[in-house]
Structures are given as structure tokens and as C-alpha cells.
Structure 1
Amino acid sequence: MARRAGAPEVNAGSMADIAFLLLIFFLVTTTIETDAGLDRMLPPIEPPDTDVVIKQKNIFQVNINKNGQLLADEELIDLKNLRAKAMEFLDNGGDGTCSYCKGRKNAESSDNPSKAIISLKNDRETKYGTYITVQNELVGAYNDLRNRESQRLFGRDFTDMEAEYLNPETSSSLKDELKEKVKSIQDLFPQKLSEAETSTSN
């Protein structure tokens, strides 16, 4: 009687190699999405030695309630008007020391762009989308004013110059040239955007 042959064996010697190649393939081809985040300067670790006195008229207060309504300098406004209102405050030049300001020079509003501060306060129940949109409008107010001055001084938008300066592919010689221009425009309208402690609705 003929002897029955056993089940054929599977050669699994190369399975580890195949798994390793697949792992490398997925690592190389997979893209990982990252959140852009918000560009903000954190306060210094050490508190200043002297107390800084800030006039109330140099603070532009923006409050967002849980329903997404905006209160800017104690006035209820629409989101579409926030940027213009912030620009009016930043560009006021109330004390007459700002030679490039084109505002109304209202003595009751900010003295100078270097002293103007925008304070943002939101409710704990404020929607994240509303919070980000308000942030974008306030940063947009700074960028619009910076673009205006950059066009006047250098014939191009500040946002384009800054993007080129931050681009890692930009040559070092061009970066050195752009650095001075970007800083000079930032000094004209320094971005002083602070966030007050979040409030809770009753």
C-alpha cells in the first residue's frame, strides 16, 4: 500500500522581509497632518521688575460670548466689521507722535501703534470656529496695516515678504535683506494681541 504524502509545507522564510518592505512603503508614502496652530508670543518666565502702567484708551477690548456675539469696546458689532474697527484703533495716532498713521487722531482712542493693545476675552462655551475666526480678523487688521506701509516703503506686501523670509528655500543672502525689511514693518505696527482669562457664563 502506497504511503500518503503529508501536506505541502509553506516556505515562510521570506515573510519577515515582505512585512518589513511593506512597513517601509507605508512609512514613506503616508502623510501625517499637523495643525498649523496660532502664532503667539508667550509671556516671559520672569515678571518685569517694574509695573507697567497702561492707559485704558490704549486697550481695545474684544469679548466673545457663548452665542458668538462680539462686544468691541463695549459696542455690539458684527464679525464682518471687526477688522475695520481694530484697524481704526491701531491706526489712530491720538498723541500725534505717529507720522505714518492715517487715523482720526482721536484723543479718546489709542495714542500710538506701539502702545496699542488688543485684548481678547472669550466665554468657555464659545465655539472654537468662532474663536479662530475672530483671531484671524484681528491678525488680519495688523497685516492690512503692515501691507499698507510695506507697499509705501518697499513696493510689495508685508505678508509676501514675510512668507519669503520664512521659506526654508530662500537663500541666506536674500533672507538677510528681507529680515531688516520685515522687522522695520513689524516695528511700525507691533502685534500686541493678548488674551484675557476665559470667563464662564451664568
Structure 2
Amino acid sequence: MSQEVNAGSMADIAFLLLIFFLVTTTIASDKGLLTVLPPKQDPNTPPPEVPLNERNIFNILVNANDQLLVEGEPMNNTENLSAEVKAFILNFGRPNEEATALYNSLPESLKAQVNRDPKSSDHPMAGGAVVSIKTNRGTSYEKYLEVYDQVKRAYFEIYAERVGLTADQYRALSGRTAAEKELTDRGKEGIPMAISIAEPDKIGGN
């Protein structure tokens, strides 16, 4: 007569192993775009209108064929886009007293890039320079991300140069330590990342 193996506790063991792996396993997750979205608007309250001079808006249009129109001029690729955005942000065409103080606080390397074109942005402070990105319904997600990343790079280059880092080094700052947070805040001080994502035109696509 053969002896049978007692398997009565196998289900309990398997359940305990399952709990163990669920607790100890690290699940990787994609971060995506690190962008803080504005709070949801009350449908009964229309959004406030913020009047801006046309010179204070840097317009980027990506059509349904992924072609770029930057400030009304066609651009074959995004290679020089961040440089143009950076020049727009740092224009200081018509600075007020507060913006003049901001300019005086900039390192000499950034001051050398200031153009002071009266037809371009007044200053990089709130309301003085806004980058507008508008797409069509058929614009590819890849092209939109490419443009968006180049615009953000212009800001990161400015922030990084203010604290003596490269753009990639500044982007890598997590802000988890007091030293990293101080660098992050000092780089952004007075120069908000003013990027406006306009609602896509219903052109192209299905």
C-alpha cells in the first residue's frame, strides 16, 4: 500500500508566496510628461481673460502634416527652436522696474544673450513672455512631444545657466534634498515656465 503525500496545506503555502511577491516586487511605472495641470474650471464660471500684447506671445503651430510654423515663418525641423524660444524669453524689450532688477541679477553669460528688441517680449516675468503651442487634430503625438521638449529645454538652459549647471544636470535635479531644491528654486526665480497649450484645430485626422 503506497503512502499519499499530504497536500492539504499547499494552497496556504501558495497564497503566502503570492502575498510575499506582491509586497516585495517593485513595479516600474512610466512617469510621462512631468507637467502640473491646472485645476478644473467651474463650467458656470467663464475663465478670466488675460490681455497680452501680441509681441509677448511666441506662436508655434504644428499642422496636420507635422510641419512647423514659428512666428509665422516655416521651420524645417526643431533643431533651432529652443534657441529662438530662449532669445524670446530673454528679450527684455520693455522691462519694468521689477524686470530690470531681475535682469541685473542674471549672470553675465545670460545678459550677453539679451537682444532688447521692442517688437519682441517685454520681459520673462509673468505675463511678459508666453510660448504658445498649437496643433491640428492630425498632428502626431511624437512631433508634439518633440516641439514641447524643445520649448522646455529653452527654459531649462536659462535656469541651469543661472546656477552654473548644464541643462541636463538641472533637469536631473530631483529636489529631494535641501541643496537640490535650493538650486531648482534659484534657477526658476522670477522666470516662470509660461507655456500655453492651445486647443487643437479640427483639421486632419478622423
| TM-score, normalized by the shorter chain, greater than 0.5 | yes
Alignment of 1:19 with 2:14, yes or no, is: yes
C-alpha displacement at 1:166, in angstroms?
Answer: 1.9
**Contact 2:160 2:170 (C-alpha < 8 Å) held by counterparts:** no
Distance in structure 2 (CA, Å) of the matches to 1:130 and 1:162: 21
Distance in structure 2 (CA, Å) of the matches to 1:189 and 1:110: 13
Distance in structure 2 (CA, Å) of the matches to 1:130 and 1:33: 26
Which of 1 and 2 has higher RCO (CA within 8 Å, sep 6+)?
2
1:120–1:34 CA distance, 2 compared to 1 (3 A) = same
Q: Deviations over 1:56-79 (max 9, x none)?
A: 110111111222211111111121
One of 31, 35, 47 as aligned partner of 2:30: 35
Gaps of 5+ in 2: none
Aligned residue pairs: how many?
A: 186
Structure 2 counterpart of 1:21, which letter?
L
Structure 1 counterpart of 2:146, which letter?
T
Report the TM-score when normalising by structure 1: 0.77
Distance in structure 2 (CA, Å) of the matches to 1:137 and 1:49: 28
Gaps of 5+ in 1: none
**Contact 2:156 2:171 (C-alpha < 8 Å) held by counterparts:** no
Structure 2 counterpart of 1:90, which letter?
I
C-alpha displacement at 1:197, in angstroms?
Answer: 0.5
Q: How does 1:1-202 map to 2 (within 5 A)?
A: 9-28=4-23, 30-44=25-39, 45=41, 51-77=49-75, 78-96=77-95, 97=100, 98-99=103-104, 100=106, 101=111, 102-114=113-125, 115-151=128-164, 156=165, 160=169, 163-164=172-173, 166-167=175-176, 170=177, 175=178, 179-201=181-203
Distance in structure 1 (CA, Å) of the matches to 2:134 and 2:122: 22
1:9–1:181 CA distance, 2 compared to 1 (3 A) = closer
**Contact 2:158 2:187 (C-alpha < 8 Å) held by counterparts:** no
Distance in structure 2 (CA, Å) of the matches to 1:11 and 1:89: 77
Q: Which has the larger radius of gyration?
A: 1
Report the TM-score when normalising by structure 2: 0.76
Structure 2 counterpart of 1:40, which letter?
T
1:116–1:33 CA distance, 2 compared to 1 (3 A) = same
More displaced 10-residue stretch of structure 1: 181-190 or 55-64: 181-190
Q: Deviations over 1:151-190 (max 9, x none)?
A: 2xxxx457646755523xx3xxxx1x65455323212321
1:61–1:49 CA distance, 2 compared to 1 (3 A) = closer
- Secondary structure at 1:11's aligned position in 2? coil
RMSD (CA atoms): 2.8
**Contact 2:66 2:139 (C-alpha < 8 Å) held by counterparts:** yes
Distance in structure 1 (CA, Å) of the matches to 2:114 and 2:46: 32
**Contact 1:59 1:117 (C-alpha < 8 Å) held by counterparts:** yes
